[in-house]
Amino acid sequence: MNLSRFARRHFAHLPTPLERLPRLSAHLGGPQIWIKRDDCTGLSTGGNKTRKLEFLMGDAREQGADTVITQGATQSNHARQTAAATARLGLDCHLLLEDRTGSEDPEYNHSGNVLLDQLHGATVSRLPGGTDMDGEMSALAERLSGEGRKPYVIPGGGSNEIGALGYVNAALELLTQANDMDLRIDHVIHATGSSGTQAGLVAGLTGARTGVPVLGIGVSAPREEQERDVFALAERTADRLGITGAVTRADIVVNSDYVGTRLRHSHGRHVRGRRPRGAPGGAASRSRVLGQGHGGVDRPDPQGAFRARRQRGVPAHRRQRRPLRVPLGVRRRGGGYMNPVGGASTRPADAGPSLSAPCGCARAGR
Ligand SMILES: Cc1ncc(COP(=O)(O)O)c(C=O)c1O
């Protein structure tokens, strides 16, 4: 896949490190867990939206935009990173922030990302929960166009087929790192919300014919809805890449069992789930979104997602009792493979693909 043909502005700190988490693996009693440190992308404290914004900002500049409009929740990471990217490129930025919590806590409403948005010079508008945010962005774009500006509208989370290219690039980056390290990956696990991260990862990993499965831990929508949205975007991303049909519906797997409150404050369960994981790995998450992904880690794995088995002819496998969570987590190959949604194994435990055999895809027609 040739990503260099797409407009892009390079401001992310790439490649992000790929680090082993031996203490987290020990804590969980088994699987080798690696973390792709996309908290280190460098743009105003980093985060996953930076990769998307490289391509979105490239497209904005190519289209001659002088103003960027986007939307998100009050404490949106995407809004904060968009404000930083526009400041870096000398573009005006309008952020429409929706009150999705009803919180009157001044810290929630004015500090954190909201403060950073303002420090980066963005014009911030606050809108009540339930507002048609896309409609508001269109109306603002129309008004600014009428004033002679050239606005560029980015959807929430930077999740369209342009932004998703950032995570196609992340997939290729991960494969290169894994190959360099002789690392055979069983599974990639990450949080999924506005869909661009998963769509890009799946398009990249299937486009490269790796056969490495991706599991999104849903943070907001029910599983069917999330999988539908991710699949639609992954298909559009594949079209853009010139690999139409590469992504199948079966490639899109989401577990939304840990969706709790929507993008709200961190709560006790998130904090409890985060503390023992962050500490052993040294990569504690600041994110509310990840807090929701973490919501599952203090409960037993209800689906047997990563339960390993002891089988004749294959190495002894230890049981993975809890779902994994990391900004972008990879589980090293070395154990049995179970369908992450708890169904039958889709591949024999000893016949899964490996990155050291890039065409090890076991799925037909891929
Ligand atoms: C740290 C982090 N990881 C993952 C996600 C989900 O990514 P996406 O919105 O592309 O589905 C988010 C969403 O905001 C996030 O903040």
Instruction: Answer yes or no: is pLDDT of 332 > 60.
Output: no
Cis omega (within 30 of 0) on the bond before 315? no
Contacts of 165 (CB under 8 A, 6+ apart): 3, 6, 8, 52, 55, 200, 237, 240, 241
Dihedral sign, Cα of residue 113, residue 116, residue 120, residue 125: positive
Query: Is the distance from the beta carbon of residue 255 to the nearest atom of ligand 1 less than 6 Å?
Result: no
Task: Write the pLDDT tens digit of every residue in 27-81.
Answer: 988 789 999 999 999 999 999 999 999 999 999 999 999 999 999 999 999 999 9
Say how far apart CA 292 and CA 111 lie, in whole Å: 21
DSSP letter for 4, please.
Answer: G
159 is catalytic: no
Mean pLDDT on 210-235: 97
Amino acid at residue number 274: R
Query: Encoding tokens for residue 297?
Result: 């880690």
Distance 193 CA to ligand 1 centre (A): 6
Mean pLDDT on 204-233: 97
Query: Is the distance from the beta carbon of residue 259 to the nearest atom of ligand 1 less than 6 Å?
Result: no
Query: Is the distance from the beta carbon of residue 218 to the nearest atom of ligand 1 less than 6 Å?
Result: no
CB atoms within 10 A of CB 312: 4
Q: What is the pTM of this model?
A: 0.80
Strands 33-36 and 329-332: antiparallel
List the Cα angle 14/233/68 in 5-degree steps: 60
- pLDDT at 260 (0 to 100): 75
Distance 112 CA to ligand 1 centre (A): 17
Closest CA to 188 of 292, 52, 332: 332
> Can you tell me which residue has the tokens 């959807």?
155
Say how far apart CA 87 and CA 90 lie, in whole Å: 5
Q: Quick check: 174 and 35 in contact, CB under 8 A?
A: no
- pLDDT at 268 (0 to 100): 43
Question: Which one is catalytic: 76, 194, 266, 287?
Answer: 76
Instruction: Answer yes or no: is pLDDT of 335 > 80.
Output: no
Which atom, in ligand 1's list, is nearest to the CA of 76? 14
Q: Quick check: 195 and 229 in contact, CB under 8 A?
A: yes
Which helix (H) or strand (E) segment holds residue 133: the answer is helix 133-146
Best of 197, 230, 262, 294 to mutate for ligand 1, by most ligand atoms within 8 A of CB? 197
DSSP letter for 221, please.
Answer: S
